[in-house]
Amino acid sequence: MPSFDDLTNEFLDAEFTESPVRASGLGLTAYDEELDDMSEAAFDRRKTADAGWLDRFRAVEQGPLSFDEGIDRELAISTLRGRQIIEDFEVWRRQPDVYLNPGMTGIFSLFLHRLRPMEELVDAAVARMRLIPGNLEDGKRNLRPEMVPGIFLDRAANQARAGARYLREILPAQMDDGPLRAKLAEAGEAAGSAYDEYVAFLEEMRPTTAGDYMLGEERYSALLREKELLGFGARELRERGQAAYDELATELTRCARELRGTDDWKAVLDELNEDHPRTPEEMRIGYEEWTERAREYLREHRLVTFPEGESCAVVPSPPFQRPVLAVASYMSPPPFSDRMLGHFFVPFPPDGASEDEIQKRLASNSYPGIPTTAVHEAYPGHHWHLVTSKGNPSRLRQVFRTPYFSEGWALYAERMMREQGFFTDLRHEMSQYEATIFRAARIVVDTSLHMGEMSWDEAVAFMTSHTGLTEPTAKAEVTRYCAWPTQASSYLTGCLEIVRIRGAFFAAHGSSDIDALRAFHDGITSSGGLPIALAERAVLATA
């Protein structure tokens, strides 16, 4: 029998071979010229391989393993089991954007992190562009109109159009060197034409689409219990989300009374949203200023330990991401590199958006709400967490993490900063409660959508009436929930679990002072982005 370390390395090497774009994004530059194989045979091959790896990890006995190896074994099993649960749903036959993501992400990340000389990056990008038409042809063969939900067509078509423009115009324009610019433009034109043909293919498919996005209660609950290692299923999760919503509505009512003398907190939030940047660049500057304020607050109050050399750039979101994502996002420095620069992406509107839609999207990024989002995405949210977890020696934990921890941590970061006095303006405090009630509403909507108890239209109406979202943002959000089941529920679920673990840590530590709080923060984030039960096991061992 191989050692556990040998087994893990063998597994990861196989993972990287099957997903070179992911490997490249992790900092393994040997994969930079490759794209994932998206053929039907490749999906069948991965399914068989995952079953084999699951059997091998389950066969490993816990006894001889170290404490950390035991956690890694459970992480591998939960990851593989999660894949197995949704295999029969065949996402690769339902979602057209599956065939867009490798090429777009694979090329963008090369120039975001710049781990190689520019000439080599251009050559790698050109190599990937030449493989994009093959990915899209696989999509044309694999997608089944009777399985594709119609709501996914516009999402994918808009993403393909944005990707074509990125490769044809935006990326070449970033090159000062004429020959390099010409090389990118030539390859970008060919890849852009393939995207155009894919859009035409999706339009031709439109009249015959009849698919369902609903994952189903059984699969959803199995993911919660066996992948996320939580002790409840979809229906109980929805009840928890509704209970949290009701509690948060009480806090928002209190804030509304103090600010405007009314119980109508939704109306007050709508009013606060009117105080928003008037251009995307003004929005970016606002996020940049509050990101630095949050960083300094953490230092002054000794709430976390900072890894040496970390920094976070606040930049516009990638053009190809804008049609499908209406909220801020973050990309960490590659785990298998020495880079410590992360990127906080501000949600710029998509190309071609009307002035009315631009202003509505900017209203969802109001000045009262910007401080909360800066905390969530950067300090001590995603950026601080992920540069801290880079120090963990486990290769497995650098590759796999769950949103139930990473998104849960980012929402916990908002709550903790409110508890520690960062939000001194009641408008900012109210916006943090709004950000949390938004995540509670997400739980209700996401579970209801995938249990078949709420339609897309009903979900959009729910989000606009129960949160501060404008309609364009709500539509983009709900379509995202349909495409990515269980992810939307991860934020508040993970946050509340981390709060519970914090209480257990303080009890075991015998103190809840600032040193204990910092030790908890450093300990639980440095363990990685583990499923909640494993994160609890890891941090309590340090108490």
Do 203 and 85 reside in the same domain of the chain?
yes
123, containing H or E segment: helix 118-142
Phi, psi of 478 (to 5 degrees): -65, -40
- Beta sheet of 329-331, edge-to-edge order: 311-316, 341-346, 329-331
Confirm whether 275 is domain-assigned.
yes
Do 273 and 187 reside in the same domain of the chain?
no
Q: Is the pLDDT of residue 202 over 90?
A: yes
Q: What is the mean pLDDT of residues 302-318?
A: 96
Do 257 and 392 reside in the same domain of the chain?
yes
Do 270 and 418 reside in the same domain of the chain?
yes
Helix, strand or coil for residue 408? helix
Do 140 and 247 reside in the same domain of the chain?
no
| pLDDT for the residue numbered 361 | 87
Phi, psi of 534 (to 5 degrees): -75, -35
Do 177 and 234 reside in the same domain of the chain?
no
Do 262 and 197 reside in the same domain of the chain?
no
Q: By the 8 A CB rule, do 409 and 377 touch?
A: no
* Single-letter amino acid code for the residue at 437: I
Q: By the 8 A CB rule, do 451 and 236 touch?
A: no
Do 149 and 46 reside in the same domain of the chain?
yes
Least confident of 57-71, 462-476, 524-538: 462-476
Question: Quick one: pLDDT band at residue 2, thresholds 50, 70, 90?
Answer: confident
| pLDDT for the residue numbered 309 | 97
Alpha carbon distance 133, 201 (integer Å): 13
Do 199 and 244 reside in the same domain of the chain?
no
Helices 490-509 and 403-419 pack at an angle, to 10 degrees, of 70
Q: Over the chain, what is the mean pLDDT?
A: 96
Confirm whether 219 is domain-assigned.
no
Which residues form the domain of 23?
Answer: 4-208
- Final residue of a domain: which of 175, 208, 241? 208
Q: Is the pLDDT of residue 293 over 90?
A: yes
Alpha carbon distance 372, 369 (integer Å): 6
Domain count along the chain: 2
Confirm whether 162 is domain-assigned.
yes
Q: What is the mean pLDDT of residues 289-310?
A: 98
Q: Is the pLDDT of residue 409 over 80?
A: yes
Helix, strand or coil for residue 64? coil
Confirm whether 199 is domain-assigned.
yes
Phi, psi of 35 (to 5 degrees): -120, 155
Question: Quick one: pLDDT band at residue 319, thresholds 50, 70, 90?
Answer: confident
Q: What is the mean pLDDT of residues 308-332?
A: 89
Q: By the 8 A CB rule, do 450 and 214 touch?
A: yes
Confirm whether 218 is domain-assigned.
no
Q: What is the pTM of this model?
A: 0.94
Q: pLDDT tens digits for 325-356?
A: 778 999 999 999 999 999 999 999 988 899 99
Q: Count CA within 13 A, CB hemisphere, residue 21.
A: 22
Q: Which of 445, 282, 410 is nearest to 349 (CA)?
A: 282
Confirm whether 216 is domain-assigned.
no
Q: Which of 473, 461, 464, 266 is nearest to 358 (CA)?
A: 473
Question: Quick one: pLDDT band at residue 131, thresholds 50, 70, 90?
Answer: very high
Alpha carbon distance 353, 246 (integer Å): 35
Do 178 and 260 reside in the same domain of the chain?
no
| pLDDT for the residue numbered 351 | 83
Do 204 and 246 reside in the same domain of the chain?
no
Do 332 and 285 reside in the same domain of the chain?
yes
Alpha carbon distance 461, 448 (integer Å): 13
Which of the 8 DSSP states describes residue 208?
G
Confirm whether 29 is domain-assigned.
yes
Confirm whether 18 is domain-assigned.
yes
- Final residue of a domain: which of 182, 208, 234? 208
Helix, strand or coil for residue 209? coil
Q: pLDDT tens digits for 157-189?
A: 999 999 999 999 999 999 999 999 999 999 999
Question: Quick one: pLDDT band at residue 126, thresholds 50, 70, 90?
Answer: very high
Q: What is the mean pLDDT of residues 400-405?
A: 98
- Final residue of a domain: which of 179, 208, 237? 208
Q: What is the mean pLDDT of residues 149-153?
A: 95
Q: Count CA within 13 A, CB hemisphere, residue 51.
A: 8
